[in-house]
């Protein structure tokens, strides 16, 4: 007897419809899964058999053939388990499909419990677009499934719940389940899911943001950060250990505005696919990702054997913070040039080709040399001559070129750490940034200043004639390229937005010029 159910697969960040066809026919008791399954999927037959038995059903002693259509697409993961198991129940006549067309998503444990799977949100969205609005999802994923409008999603905790859905109120045929109490399966099931949830939470829990009130000194660096966040400019902080680069960066989450509805949906979809969605609801706070400098290429840009999004994509609509920039793998850094320029990443592998959105704001920090004390007034640099230059050169020029604001930080004198008036706190600065950002978004058709290029810069960052001559002087003395002039204009625009100026004034242009210093260069070269 033949049964057909509908489920979905993740490709990139989109869900794709998959039909599961199950044929149970007389013959030797074997189970074949066809349709390009991967290892996790091939193991489904073991999980499905145990889950069916432990849920009080009978595993048919017949020849079972499972086909996943379309057959030419490679299938990954364990989200098909539930559909296969229910399909076997239908095909072996243990239940009837009396409840209408249900799509099913979920992984089975041997006990018959339904486990959470990544990517439920985009899969549900795809199913809904294809007309399957009644969907059974793992109970732990119900919150994200509910984010899709017009869907009737039901959380299923176990295989028997799913069977009941598909069978409808009177569709269930008599099975041994009627006779056998289900206590054994419901007990462990209740305990399992929170445990998994808690584990994921510990790994992805955000570090509590540092409040700016805790950062003393660094007046210039604080202001540079404010300008960067107001205009969405990429920011590089260079300085010795202990200058406060990381501390400053850790204050960023507390300065970001919440996501808009549209952005929130994008971010939630990405987190759903990556399996890091914390409580399942809509993600409202802007992402702040801080991968360690030992992160692999795949972890940073995405990919890997199972093609999952990387940190660059997880930082979409948010901030990607790369501490110790020069210590990162060079190929991985250079791979970030595409998203820095275009806002997405294309990953091509033998198993497929996907495109991940990655429109993030980059904040990076690095030491001026390997030991960190190059040009430090109080501490000798222990690097050999020329090493400092080599160290800075580990970050490629084209990469540095994408960074609008680059500043050097020095260590704060101890005296300043103790005395002085308390600095502004994050709430005050956040309000200022939000106001500036709103001004720029309104003027630029919803783009931050950093995203302006070519003619848009010239049009939206126009200067008064007197200011233009000052800009020309700056461009000549610093030998700025056209790109360099545009960069200066964009940053000046953000400074003006912060100050509430309708047009960038001379002071804004001059101030902008101080926000891009040649980094780590050898001093006497600059004098030369």
Partner 1 sequence: MGGGEERRAWITLASADGAAEETLAVLIGQFGSAQEVLRRAADGRLAVWSKSTLNASGRHPLTRPVLAAIEAAARDPDALLWAIAHLGLWSLTPLDHAYPAGLRDLDPPPPVIHGLGDPEALVQRRAVAVVGTRRPTPAGRLLTTRICARLVECGAAVISGLAIGIDGTAHAATVERGGRTVGVIGAGHSRPGPRAHAALRDRIAGARGAVVSEHHPGVRASRGTYPRRNRVIAALGDAVIVVEAPLRSGALITARHALELGRPVFVAPGRVDDWSVAGSLALLRDSPAQPMVGLDELIADLGYFDSTDDDASAGSQIDGARRPALAMLGPAERQVAERLCAGPAGLDLLVADTGLPPSVVSGAVTLLLLRGWAQPMGPAYLPSGPLAE
261-274 and 120-129 helices, crossing angle to 10°: 110
Closest approach, Cβ 298 to partner 1, in A, equals: 35
Give the per-residue contact string, 236-265, with partner 1 (x = CB under 8 A; - = no). --xx--------------------------
425 binds partner 1 (CB under 8 A): no
Window 488 to 507, contacts with partner 1 (CB under 8 A): 495, 498-499, 507
CA neighbor of 361 nearest in space, from 225, 486, 520, 518: 225
Binding string, 309-348, against partner 1, x = CB under 8 A?
A: ----------------------------------------
Token pair 């992402």 is at which residue?
A: 287
Burial class (CB in 10 A: 0-12, 13-18, 19+), 106: buried
CB of 252 to partner 1, least distance (A): 18
Contact 319, 288 (CB under 8 A): yes
Interacting residue with partner 1 among 27, 98, 219, 258 (CB under 8 A): 219
Tell me whether residue 89 or residue 215 sits nearer to partner 1 (CB atom). 215
Question: Under 8 Å CB-to-CB from 498, ≥6 apart: which residues?
Answer: 226, 227, 230, 432, 433, 436
- CA-CA distance, 474 to 463, in Å (whole number)? 14
Phi, psi (5° rounding) for residue 94?
-80, -30
Shortest distance in whole angstroms from residue 528 CB to partner 1: 4
Listed ranges 79-87, 186-194, 319-327, 511-519: which one lies at the site for partner 1 (CB under 8 A): 511-519
Among 21, 38, 324, 389, binds partner 1 (CB under 8 A): 389
Quick check: 221 binds partner 1 (CB under 8 A)? yes
Cα atoms in the Cβ-side hemisphere of radius 13 Å centred on 68: 28
Nearer to partner 1 (CB atom), residue 276 or residue 499: 499
The minimum distance between CB 200 and partner 1, in angstroms, equals: 40
Stretch 349-388 residues interacting with partner 1 (CB under 8 A): 368, 374-377, 379-381, 385-386
**Residues near partner 1 (CB under 8 A), total:** 52
Residues 6+ apart with CB under 8 A from 87: 3, 4, 5, 20, 21, 22, 66
Q: Is the CB of 2 or the CB of 417 nearer to partner 1?
A: 417
Work out how close the CB of 500 gets to partner 1 at its nearest, in angstroms, rounded to a whole number: 12
Q: Does 159 bind partner 1 (CB under 8 A)?
A: no
User: Nearest-CA neighbor of 5 among 106, 116, 103?
Assistant: 103
Among 112, 122, 217, 287, binds partner 1 (CB under 8 A): 217
Candidates 67-75, 133-141, 219-227, 428-436: pick the segment binding partner 1 (CB under 8 A). 219-227
Based on the shown chain and the rule CB under 8 A, indicate whether residue 434 belongs to the binding site for partner 1. no
User: Nearest distance from residue 474's CB to partner 1, in Å?
Assistant: 7
Q: How far is the CB of 245 from partner 1 (least distance, A)?
A: 12
- Measured from the CB atom, is 154 or 471 closer to partner 1? 471
Q: Is 15 helix (H, G, I), strand (E, B) or coil?
A: strand
Rounded CA Rg of the chain: 28
193 within 8 A of 139, measured Cβ to Cβ: yes
The helix or strand, by DSSP H or E, that contains position 8, with its residue range, turns out to be strand 2-11
CA of 204: how far to CAs of 175, 275, 279, in Å?
Answer: 43, 10, 11
Buried b (16+ CB within 10 A) or exposed e, 149-178: eebebbbbbbbbbbbbbbbeeebbeebebe
Per the CB < 8 A criterion, the answer to whether 15 and 127 are in contact is: yes
Q: Which residue, 244 or 287, is less far from partner 1 as judged by CB? A: 244
Facing residues of 113 across strands?
158
**Per CB under 8 A, does 407 bind partner 1?**
yes
Interface residues with partner 1 (CB under 8 A) are 217-224, 238-239, 368, 374-377, 379-381, 385-386, 389, 407-410, 412-413, 416, 420, 473-474, 477, 495, 498-499, 507-508, 510-515, 517-518, 522-528
């Amino acid at each position: 007897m033949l049964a057909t159910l509908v489920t979905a697969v993740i490709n990139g960040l989109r869900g794709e419809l998959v039909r599961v066809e199950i044929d149970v026919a007389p013959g030797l008791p074997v189970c074949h899964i066809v349709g390009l399954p991967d290892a996790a999927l091939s193991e489904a037959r073991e999980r499905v058999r145990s889950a069916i038995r432990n849920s009080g059903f009978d595993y048919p002693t017949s020849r079972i053939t499972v086909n996943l259509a379309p057959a030419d697409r490679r299938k990954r993961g364990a989200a098909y388990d539930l559909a296969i198991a229910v399909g076997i129940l239908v095909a072996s006549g243990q239940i009837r499909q009396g409840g209408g067309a249900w799509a099913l998503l979920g992984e089975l444990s041997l006990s018959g419990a339904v486990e959470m799977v990544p990517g439920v949100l985009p899969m549900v969205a795809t199913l809904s677009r294809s007309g399957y609005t009644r969907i059974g999802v793992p109970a732990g994923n119900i919150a994200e499934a509910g984010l899709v409008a017009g869907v009737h999603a039901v959380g299923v905790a176990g295989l028997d719940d799913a069977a009941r859905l598909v069978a409808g109120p009177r569709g269930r045929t008599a099975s041994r389940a009627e006779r056998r109490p289900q206590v054994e399966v419901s007990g462990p099931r209740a305990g399992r899911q929170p445990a998994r949830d808690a584990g994921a939470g510990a790994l992805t829990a955000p570090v509590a943001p540092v409040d700016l009130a805790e950062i003393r000194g660094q007046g210039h660096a604080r202001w540079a950060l404010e300008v960067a966040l107001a205009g969405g400019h990429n920011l590089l902080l260079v300085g010795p250990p202990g200058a406060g680069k990381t501390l400053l960066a850790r204050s960023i989450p507390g300065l970001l505005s919440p996501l808009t509805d549209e952005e929130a949906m994008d971010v939630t979809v990405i987190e759903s696919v990556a399996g890091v969605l914390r409580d399942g609801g809509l993600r409202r706070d802007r992402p702040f990702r801080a991968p360690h400098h030992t992160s692999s290429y795949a972890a940073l840009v995405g990919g890997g054997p199972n093609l999952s999004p990387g940190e660059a994509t997880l930082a979409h609509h948010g901030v990607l913070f790369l501490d110790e920039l020069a210590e990162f793998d060079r190929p991985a850094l250079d791979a970030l040039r595409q998203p820095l320029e275009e806002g997405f990443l294309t990953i091509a592998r033998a198993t497929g080709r996907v495109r991940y959105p990655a429109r993030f704001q980059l904040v990076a920090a690095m030491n001026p040399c390997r030991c960190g004390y190059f040009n430090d007034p109080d501490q000798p640099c222990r690097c050999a001559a020329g090493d400092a230059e080599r160290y800075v050169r580990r970050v490629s020029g084209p990469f540095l070129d994408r960074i609008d604001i680059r500043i050097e930080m020095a260590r704060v004198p101890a005296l300043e750490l103790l005395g002085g008036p308390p600095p502004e706190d994050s709430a005050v600065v956040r309000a200022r940034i939000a106001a500036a950002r709103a001004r720029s978004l309104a003027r630029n058709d919803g783009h931050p200043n950093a995203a302006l290029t070519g003619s848009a810069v010239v049009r939206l960052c126009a200067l008064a004639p007197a200011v233009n001559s000052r800009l020309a002087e700056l461009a000549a003395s610093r030998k700025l390229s056209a790109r360099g002039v545009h960069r200066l204009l964009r940053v000046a625009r953000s400074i003006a937005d912060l100050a509430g100026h309708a047009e960038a004034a001379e002071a804004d242009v001059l101030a902008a010029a101080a926000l891009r210093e040649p980094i780590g260069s050898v001093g006497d070269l600059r004098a030369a």
